[in-house]
Amino acid sequence: MRVSTQQSYVSMTSSFTDLSADLQQVVTQMATGKRIILPSDDPIAATRITQLDRQQSAIEQYQSNIKTVSSGLSQQESVLDGVNNNLLAIRDDLLQAANGTCTAETLASFGQEIKSLTESMMAALNYQDEDGHYIFGGTVNDTAPITYDDTDGDGEGDEYVYHGNTEHRSATVSNGVEIDTNVSVGEIFGQGLDVFNTLDDLATELQDPNLNPTDPQVLDDITHSIDVIDDASQSLNMAISSLGERQNTLTMLGDAQTGISTSNQDMIGQLGDLDYGPATITFTGLQMAMEATMKTYSKVSELNLFSAI
């Protein structure tokens, strides 16, 4: 069977095109460090890499949520620690006031400090985060959770009022796992804010110019306030412990996700990264084949009827 010159050209051109495409594929692989340039290069591996990439994206979002939630919990814990310290400072004052030897002036001084510390605690519990949201109002975050209202109509504030609720906000921190991101004043101290209104009333009483320091009612009120503080402090410590437990959970989840992410990265590398040793051998072989094809093409192109004369 005779092969025409035209057929030789077509055959060599096709071979040259195929070799050129293969060489370009290897060059691209070596330039990017990736074995799979197109899904068709290895459909099974490409599908697995896509699945792992999606999981990595989800982990990144979970890690971002964990970071945000952890920061918020830390803020809340810091604020509540400060409130608890103020409560304990007031308790120390009341223990001194309860010994029955204080003068009216001393009790008035205690009253001033109790008033000041109570106002400080109210300001702390009306804390706003960097986005301007009130963090201790439950799911009500656009309104100050605590106000000092005029409830008897005399034109002056006389009672602390809570405007939030006891519900929790939540965030997704792992696949199928949500965690509460807040605690509320209502769940810690009760929606009636008894401890703060009790202290406010006592502060007013102790600063009364007509106060008789030997009046048994004064001692009863002081003792009652100590009991109220003890209950509130216990509830507050439980809330702080709850925040700490959530932080521990976040740390555990974060560590687990970091481990999974590392494993995924290793697997993606095994599936998709280029092994430069074999790739270099392939590249050299293709170069040699290209050169041989070009030489053959050049010789064939020189052939004509006159070359045989």
What's residue 49's pLDDT?
87
Asked if the model's pLDDT at residue 278 lies above 80, the reply is: no
What's residue 267's pLDDT?
84
The region, left, alpha or beta by phi > 0 then psi within -120 to 50, assigned to residue 200 is alpha
What's residue 305's pLDDT?
45
Give me the sign of the Cα torsion angle 76, 77, 78, 83: positive
CA gyration radius, the chain: 39
Dihedral pair phi/psi, residue 128, rounded to 5°:
-115, 140
Q: Domains in the chain, please, with CATH?
A: 51-266 (1.20.1330.10)
**Three-class SS state of 214:** coil
Look at the block and give the residue holding tokens 């109509």: 153
Q: How confident is the model at residue 268 (pLDDT cuts 50, 70, 90)?
A: confident
Nearest-angstrom CA–CA distance, 72 and 51: 32
Q: Helix %, strand %, coil % for the chain, to 5?
A: 70, 5, 25
What's residue 169's pLDDT?
94
DSSP symbol at 306? G
Q: Which amino acid is at 299?
A: K
Rounded to 5 degrees, what angle do the CA atoms 292, 297, 302 make?
A: 130
Q: How confident is the model at residue 189 (pLDDT cuts 50, 70, 90)?
A: very high
What's residue 112's pLDDT?
97
Q: Which residues pair with 172 in a beta bridge?
A: 178
Nearest-angstrom CA–CA distance, 289 and 221: 101
- Whether 225 and 198 have beta carbons less than 8 Å apart is answered as yes
Nearest-angstrom CA–CA distance, 114 and 131: 31
- Whether 100 and 106 have beta carbons less than 8 Å apart is answered as no
Q: Which amino acid is at 45?
A: A
Give the tens place of pLDDT for each residue, 218-242. 999 999 999 999 999 999 999 999 9
Alpha helices (H) in the chain, listed in sequence order: 5-32, 43-97, 104-125, 185-189, 194-206, 216-272, 276-302
- Whether 19 and 293 have beta carbons less than 8 Å apart is answered as yes
Q: Which residues pair with 34 in a beta bridge?
A: 273
Nearest-angstrom CA–CA distance, 275 and 35: 8
Neighbours of 72 (CB within 10 A): 19
Average pLDDT score over residue span 197-203: 97
Which is more confidently placed, 155 or 4? 155
